Structure 1
């Protein structure tokens, strides 16, 4: 049987659908950013990201046509106001692209491991390679510009050591001292401060430009949640004399002109919320101090509730596209006449 005649699996259908939704959103966010980029070192990175999203959409549409697969509506030029004033600084645009590239790296790697058809795996492998290039280039420019927040330095181990007591896993007893953080725990705490800091800036920008009171309040709530999480992670680092990362010059302008549609900004926040829950789950699994695990688990629940409330808003406004799925067989049986 020809590869193209092999039906798509549920994983492949989900991957193509999700990828198109994400790329169509990214394309129009990046298009608006490109209009105002002034830094000639940063502009090629944003242009590269925009070109990737556009190319991915074309290739995904070809898959949809080949498979007689109804493509999602996704996002179009109607979801961005190209006449709106600048909203994000050049440095924030670079930081945003770098962060979204990280999200893409994790997403594409997972997709490849779930897909069976060679042509689908080949597409996502190329997408992974392109996203790796985007991440590396944006990271290099951030380093050159001095706007890259490096993870903290710690002493390199000189000998092998083993955990010799269950106390290594403790951390919840307020009457006993907590052991110092290990390198793995520091890494996740630091990374989650960074991602929440980006979320704060996006929430600020979206809240001040959305014309809808409900969306404004939702974004301000998201900002407060991210601030709270940053404080928790940063205080844990400070207990070990480790400064939390600072994102330099990631300013949001004073514009209040609607820039992106409410549908787009709600989708962007749902994407970041899903990524955040994934980051916390990974951090909880990797951390060995019990207080850190408990923190990640309870904060994940807060993000999950925030995401659920966002989905409710999107459903109410008919903004949330339903992913492909199976038919309700019981309903079909009862209504066949």
Structure 2
């Protein structure tokens, strides 16, 4: 009989993180399925929900076989499917698309931290599943003209090389800044798109939050998203590039929360973490000197906001701790 190696610390960590995220999206999907007013959207949501449950059960099985406690994650207590609609048409698929953007990145990162064959296979399957759902979400939103793509540019007719340090500095003889290249455009547009969505997400969360401190936190998040959209839009306009229009789906006027404050806080923290990662990539691949400085300033603001979320969650007993390593100092007392 073959002997299965014990889980490494890295594998335990990534499985724990995946469990938190999958149980979170499970609860959002339960609510969105109940409130879906588009049959095709409901089909996408139900397919995703069924698959997510299977992966949750698979992770539970791994924890049990390893003698590890199953995390709490998020339960039925964290969602109220009977609450009125908190968001308007198509927001459910927009939310799922944004979440799958996060999942694609995390699964790729996690497979690089895996050593056991079954764990590698799990993340390969999760990656393929996530990509499938993402593609279905994009097709759905484009068919309904509610997903604005990034601006088109003139196709290059010849290969060009930077002719000196002025390209890196962003100096142009005929303007204050050289125009953006398409790599820089891609990262800036991506950030604008994500924060337009974030504004709507935070608006609904702020309306529905039960705790006053949590409500203020979400209002602060909405204002932070607005600031990021404004600052990045200004960068596009300096290169005569039109910024994206606001998406159609918005928060309704409901003040009844379908989600627990704990669930909404964790969701916000997750999106903040993804934003920090995206900012890091944007900083790395931006060649115009002023852009990394702008991206780093935004990253600092997002990091501060994310730290506030951690404090609120810990204060209210909503922050489940990841599995720890042995405290040797305590054990040797």
TM range (shorter): over 0.9
- 1:29-77 Cα distance to aligned partner (Å, 9 max, x none): 1111111111122211111222222121111111111111112110000
Q: CA offsets per residue over residues 67-115 of structure 1, 9 Å max, x none?
A: 1111211000000112211112231111111111111111111111121
The answer to whether the Cα contact below 8 Å between 1:61 and 1:71 also exists between their aligned partners in 2 is: yes
Number of the residue aligned with 1:257: 256
SS in 2 for 1:141: helix
Map 1:72-83 onto structure 2 (within 5 A).
72-83=71-82
- For residue 40 of structure 2, give the secondary structure of its aligned residue in structure 1: coil
Distance 1:231 1:321 in 2: 35
Q: What is residue 2 of structure 2 aligned with on the other side? A: 2
Give 1:303 shift.
0.7
Shift in alpha-carbon separation, 1:172–1:76, aligned structure 2, 3 A: farther
* Within-5 A mapping of 1:108-187: 108-171=107-170, 177-187=176-186
1:251-305 Cα offsets, whole Å, 9 max, x none, are: 1111101211111000000000000000100110011011110011111111111
* Cα distance, 1:119 vs structure 2: 0.2
RMSD between superposed Cα atoms in Å: 1.6
Residues 172 and 290, structure 1, Cα contact 8 Å, conserved in 2: no
In structure 2, C-alpha distance between the alignment counterparts of 1:295 and 1:35, rounded to whole Å: 41
Shift of 1:172: 8.7
Q: What secondary structure is seen at the aligned counterpart in 2 of 1:114?
A: coil
CA contact (8 A) 2:15 2:59 kept: yes
- Which segment is superposed worse, 84-93 or 312-321? 84-93
What SS does the corresponding residue of 1:110 show, helix, strand or coil?
helix
Between Structure 1 and Structure 2, how many residues are aligned? 332
CA separation in 1, counterparts of 2:298 and 2:20? 27
Give the corresponding residue for 1:227: 226
- The one-character-per-residue Cα deviations of 1:210-257 (angstroms, maximum 9, x if unpaired) are 111000000000000110001111110111111112243211111101
Q: Name structure 1 gaps, 5 residues minimum.
A: none
Q: Distance in 1 between matches of 2:126 and 2:300?
A: 32
> Is this contact kept in 2: 1:49–1:97, CA < 8 A?
no
Is the CA contact 2:203–2:251 (under 8 Å) kept in the aligned structure 1? yes
After TM superposition, the score normalised by the length of structure 1 is 0.95
Q: Is the 8 A contact 2:79 2:259 kept in 1?
A: yes
Write the distance in 2 (CA, Å) between the matches of 1:118 and 1:303.
Answer: 36
Matched, 1:297 2:296: yes
Deviation at 1:171, TM superposition (A): 4.0
Secondary structure of the 1:90 match is coil
Residue aligning to 1:328 = 327
Partner of 2:40: 41
**TM-score normalised according to structure 2 size:** 0.96
SS of residue in 2 equivalent to 1:147: coil
- In structure 2, relative to structure 1, the CA distance for the partners of 1:201 and 1:11 (3 Å cut) is same
Q: Which moved more, 1:109-118 or 1:273-282?
A: 109-118
Deviations 1:113-147 (A, max 9, x none): 12111100101100110111001111111111111
Report deviation, 1:3.
5.3
* Distance change >3 Å, CA 137–CA 263, structure 1 → 2: same
